[in-house]
Amino acid sequence: MIFNSIEFLIFFPIVTTLYFLLPKSWRWLLLLVASCVFYMAFIPAYILVLFFTIIIDYFAGIMIENSARRKRKMYLLASLFGNIGVLAVFKYYNFFIENINAIIQASGLHYTPISDLQIILPIGLSFHTFQAMSYTIDVYKGNQKAERHFGIYSLYVMFFPQLVAGPIERARQMLPQFHNPREFDYSFAVTGLRYILYGLFKKVVIADNLSKLVDEVYNHPNDYTGISLAIATVFFAIQIYCDFSGYSDIAIGTASVLGFDLMQNFRTPYFSSSLKEFWQRWHISLSTWFRDYLYIPLGGNRTSPLRKYFNLFITFLVSGFWHGANWTFVIWGGIHGFGMIIENFLSDKLSFKVPVFFQRIATLIVVCFAWIFFRAKSLKDASTIVLNLGGNWHLQSLLDLFKKAYFSPTFAAILMTISLIFLLLETNLRNHDISALFEKRSRFVRWSLYYIMLLIIVFIGLNDNAPNFIYFKF
């Protein structure tokens, strides 16, 4: 079940109505059942995989809290092994097998290649795995009490608004909310509906329409050069932002209607003046996860400059590998890691300050360049795009691309106008959330914006072949 579907349009109001009609002591059960239904709408059998890790982590948390130091570490390792093991089998097994086969074949040895596993990646596996891992690590560190209520702990991992694509929440943020649910709050509901509306607008109007042109170029990289490749890459940067932040907005809004607070996951990242700031504003729940559970344990900034650079690079390589079992993602992470090292080095050496405008342009160029490897299907395709960027920059080739992507001149003009309006909105969201931005306007302006966005969603955004959210595959 996806947020931009008729099924969810029916599912969510029913769940919300029942939730507030039930006594508080039973609401967790409704949400848990609803989360199971939501998850099983994809591949029902995979809920067994989810419950396998839930059972391991639930008992591991209790045993860690009740045991002496050596045994505590053993139970933590068992929890981590269970979670990482599931990831390794479903997400990374085929990647390692393919590379082992290629290495052995290149060495000239005769052998029978190891077969791939013909399995589909459970949706959102990396997200709820990291959320579960943060719980047992925090219990081990003494930052979180072990949850004794199995149903509440299961709901923490499975809460349907953020189950398959985040935000990746911490136990200390969510468990108290499940234990102490709110009564219906009009202000929370209004805030939530604003987030949902804006998230849908970003996803179905901007991201889904830009995907047509992006897919055309990145599925046939040898057919394009110069301006077409550059525009497709910039469009992908906008597409993935609107797609993923749109999902996060809908998740935050859905939870808010039910009375729950989820963390902000994006804060206008493309206006950042450095890669460091970019990662403070892009996929915040993941970047803070890697900061707290990998970068700081490696030593963080409390080391020599060389060791700090090493810690940064390793953290970003792992972050890239988290996104996908492909060398393209590793290189994407490496570009960001290397860029962060250069930034840190220059900040210590430069005696003058570069104007903020040029810092933002430079940051955006690096981010967009890295997106080439994130979006390309293979290293070969990524190399083709990079090498051909300096080719044909004639406007006619771009117009030809618009035709291939089924962009009529009228539709292209409408989409560009909507994108410019969206850009103006984003410039006002740098230090505010979308609900606060609406609240600052008069009632007439607010309701005019609501109706305009709804009409655009209905007439431009909704179609039968809308692509899934990009981050579902991670």
Torsion of CA 288, 292, 295, 299, to 10 degrees: 150
Helix (H, G, I), strand (E, B) or coil at 137: helix
Give the type of residue at 445: V
Contact (CB, 8 A) for 424 and 265: no
Can you spell out the DSSP letters for 158-224?
H-GGGTTT-----HHHHHHHHHSPPPP-HHHHHHHHHHHHHHHIIIIIIIHHHHHHHHHHHHSGGG-
The CA–CA distances, whole Å, from 310 to 287, 301, 348 equal 17, 11, 17
Can you spell out the DSSP letters for 76-106?
HHHHHHHHHHHHIIIIIHHHHHHHHHHHHHH
- Joined tokens for residue 466: 């809308």
**Annotated catalytic residue: which of 220, 323, 394, 432?**
323
Torsion of CA 345, 346, 347, 349, to 10 degrees: 90
Q: What is the largest CA-CA distance in the chain?
A: 75
Whether 323 sits among the annotated catalytic residues: the reply is yes
Kindly give, in sequence order, each residue whose CB lies less than 8 Å from that of residue 203, ignoring residues fewer than 6 positions away: 3, 4, 242, 243, 246, 247, 250, 461, 469
Question: What is the phi-psi region of residue 225: left when phi exceeds 0, alpha when psi lies from -120 to 50, beta otherwise?
Answer: beta
Which of 263, 197, 203, 270 lies closest to 435 in space, CA to CA?
197
Report the catalytic residues. 323
